[in-house]
Amino acid sequence: MPELPEVEVSRLGISPHLLGQKIKQVVVRHKQLRWLVPDEVHLAEGLRVNDVRRRAKYLFIDTDAGSIILHLGMSGKLRIVNSDTPVIKHDHLDVVLSNCVCLRFNDARRFGACLWQDASEPEIGMIAALGPEPLTADFDGQRLYDLSRTKSVAVKNFIMDNKVVVGVGNIYANEALFIAGIDPRKSAKKVSKKAYLALGNIIKEVLAKAIEQGGTTLKDFTQADGNPGYFAQHLRVYGRKGKACEVCGSDIQSVTLGQRNTFFCEQCQT
């Protein structure tokens, strides 16, 4: 499943092709994605794209009437193609622009989504319930410390809670906790304030570096593969079970927390 940096790089890839263009047509071939695609998405037709934003792992295509909201789910891909490009299997939705460019959404598993946010209405519930963005001043280690005082859940699960902070997915949670020297299995309320203050900064650094790496390797979104997927980047613990820790040489361990594979070094993380 794409994580926040991958979605942000997707935003960077499609934005130049959409900004300032009028939406000629929204073509929905399969309404049943993760949720039914609402008819209201057609309200964007004839309107100019004012902005392409990201909130957590949701992409917003903003118009004066409201926003088309896209979520890639587990297998979703976005491509920029000419509007007359033949449709292939799993091409479920097009946003056709007046310059004959088309944003095409392909999703083999249909766990992705296309929603509508009316400009005159409050944020839809799933968006309104989200915590702060990790790369803003609204998030820091003090917030982690304050919210953790009554939490017995494992600290890795705690920092992956979208109500605490959005976008700290499995890969980057593993990496941040390793750099911070915190055992991912440790109860959230037992992590010290000092450790949380450091962890807050490390989360920001890990995500910002991943976005930077993705940006430097960004492929042209007019290519057939569309979504850049996970970028080539150096991961210190994720996916390295049984391999030597780069710091102490001990074997990297793996357990399951919250139904997610979790990787850590027992010597370096306490």
CA distance 159 to 200: 10
Ordered alpha helix ranges (H), the chain:
4-18, 125-128, 141-148, 155-159, 170-180, 193-216
Whether residue 6 lies in the annotated active site: no
Q: Which of 3, 6, 8, 175 is catalytic?
A: 3
Residues annotated within a binding site for DNA: 90, 109, 151
Whether residue 8 lies in the annotated active site: no
Q: Which of 34, 53, 193, 260 is catalytic?
A: 260
Q: Where are the beta strands (DSSP E) in the chain?
A: 23-28, 51-55, 58-62, 66-71, 76-82, 91-97, 101-107, 113-118, 253-257, 260-264
CA distance 26 to 132: 31
Q: Which of 6, 8, 54, 57 is catalytic?
A: 57
Whether residue 2 lies in the annotated active site: yes
Query: Is 123:84 a contact under the CB 8 Å cutoff?
Result: no
Residues annotated within a binding site: 90, 109, 151
Whether residue 205 lies in the annotated active site: no
The catalytic residue positions are: 2-3, 57, 260
